[in-house]
Amino acid sequence: MRKIIVVGSGIVGLSCALFFALEGERVRVITRNPEEATSWVAGGMLAPFSEGLEGDLFDFSYKSLQEYPSFVELLMDVSKQRVDFWQEGMYRVVLKGEEDLLNKAEKYKSLGYKVNKIEAGDWLSEDVFALVEYKQEAWVDVETLMDALLFAMERLGVEIIVDEVVDIQIQGQEVKALRGLKEEYKGDFYLFALGAWSAELFDIPVYPIKGQGLKLKGVSLPKVHYSSVSYLIPRERYLYVGATSEDVGFLSGNTLEGIKRLSEGAICVVPSLAKAQVVSMLYGYRPATPDEKPIFDVGTNYMVATGHYRNGILHAPITARIALDYLRGLRSPYLDAFSSRRFLGS
C-alpha cells in the first residue's frame, strides 16, 4: 500500500482520491479550505457540443462525457448517496443573429453525433431563433456530487486535512516533501489539484476567471437551455442561472452588475423568469489557461492536474482515470498533449 497525498478538495482532487483509494492505496487529502473549491458552485453541465469544443479538447471532453454514467454509478455505490444526474440531452439556444450555430450543429451531426433542430416554442422569447438539441449531453447537480465524494472519502478511510501547502520541495523530477502551515507531509506519490490557485505553487499559466450565478425558484424548465447570454439549468429544487465570465483576479462577492447581466440574460431567453424568486447567489473562479485546455504535468512521483477552465466538472472522470493510470505506470497521450511545455517560448 502506497502513501498518496492529494492537494486540493475540488472535484479533480476528490475524484483522483476516490480512484486511488479504490485501488487500495492509503490516501490523504490536504485542502486549504474545503468550501472555497469552485466545484461547489459550478453549473454542472456536461456539454462539449454546446460549448462548441473542437480538436483534442473536444475528444478529451467527449470521452469524459461517455465515462460519466459509470463514474456517477460508482460514486453512488461507494458513498451510498444519491447524485442527481440527468442524461436527457441539452438545448443549445440559437438567438436571432446567431444562425451560424446551426452550421456548427450540422458539422457535429455529419460526424455521427445525435443532434436535432427544434423550432422555438412559446415559452421562449422572440429573440430566440431555434433550439439545437444535443441528445448526448447531460448535467449533474454538483452539490450532490461533491457531497457524495466527501461521503466516499469517509467510507474509504481517506483522511481530509485542512491545511495550506506553502512550499513544495522538488529535486529534479521528484517531490521530496510538502510544507504546510501546520506541518510537513511526505508520501510516495503526490497529486496536485489546486484549481485556479495552481500558479501560487507551480510556474504554470493558470489564472482565475470569475463566474457569478443565481439560484431561482418558481419556474421550471424540462432541460438545460444553454445560450450565449445565460445558462438555465434545472435542478431538483431550483433553477440555476449561470454565469458571468470576468477577468478580475480573485475579487470576491456578487456584484449588482453581475446580477443584472444574469437576470437580463435569463429573461432574454425565457421571459417568464422575470417573475421567478431569487433563492441565493454564488460565485467562483474557473482555472483558466491561455489556450483554454487543461494542464497535466508529471514527475517521477507526482502529477499536476489543473486548468480545466469551463469544463472541470465534465473532465473529472477522465482526469481521475489518467491519474490512476500514471500511478500504475501507464502514460496517457494526453500527458504530452496537455503538458505545460506547450507554453514554453510563447
Ligand X SMILES: Cc1cc2nc3c(=O)[nH]c(=O)nc-3n(C[C@H](O)[C@H](O)[C@H](O)COP(=O)(O)OP(=O)(O)OC[C@H]3O[C@@H](n4cnc5c(N)ncnc54)[C@H](O)[C@@H]3O)c2cc1C
Q: Is 7 in the site for ligand X (CB under 6 A)?
A: yes
Strands 277-288 and 207-217: antiparallel
Q: Is 10 in the site for ligand X (CB under 6 A)?
A: yes
In angstroms, give the least distance from the CB of 122 to ligand X.
Answer: 27
Residue found by looking up cell 523530477 in the block? 173
Per CB under 6 A, the segment of 39-47, 105-113, 148-156, 325-333 that binds ligand X is 39-47
Nearer to ligand X, 117 or 205 (CB): 205
Nearer to ligand X, 33 or 272 (CB): 33
Task: Enumerate the H helices of 23-89 as residue ranges.
Answer: 55-79
Can you tell me the distance from the alpha carbon of 314 to that of 307, in angstroms, rounded to the nearest whole number?
Answer: 13
Site for ligand X in 290-329 (CB under 6 A): 306, 308-314
Nearer to ligand X, 108 or 283 (CB): 283
Binding-site member from 6, 13, 136, 241 for ligand X (CB under 6 A): 13
Task: Judge contact between 136 and 114, C-beta under 8 A.
Answer: yes
What cell was used for 73? 454509478
In angstroms, give the least distance from the CB of 315 to ligand X.
Answer: 7
Residue found by looking up cell 453512488 in the block? 76
Q: Is 36 in the site for ligand X (CB under 6 A)?
A: yes
Can you tell me the distance from the alpha carbon of 90 to that of 202, in angstroms, rounded to the nearest whole number?
Answer: 36
* Class of residue 247 by CB neighbours under 10 A (exposed 0-12, middle 13-18, buried 19+): exposed
What cell was used for 245? 465570465
* Class of residue 15 by CB neighbours under 10 A (exposed 0-12, middle 13-18, buried 19+): buried
Q: Is 234 in the site for ligand X (CB under 6 A)?
A: no
Q: Is 8 in the site for ligand X (CB under 6 A)?
A: yes
By residue count, the chain amounts to 346
Per CB under 6 A, the segment of 27-35, 83-91, 125-133, 330-338 that binds ligand X is 27-35
From residue 303, how far is each of 97, 192, 245 by CA, in Å?
Answer: 44, 6, 28
Per CB under 6 A, the segment of 19-27, 81-89, 182-190, 192-200 that binds ligand X is 192-200
Tell me, by CB under 6 A, how many residues bind ligand X. 45
Site for ligand X in 81-140 (CB under 6 A): none
Residues of this chain that bind ligand X (CB under 6 A):
7-13, 30-34, 36-39, 41-45, 164-165, 193-197, 200-201, 211, 213, 242-243, 284, 286-287, 306, 308-314
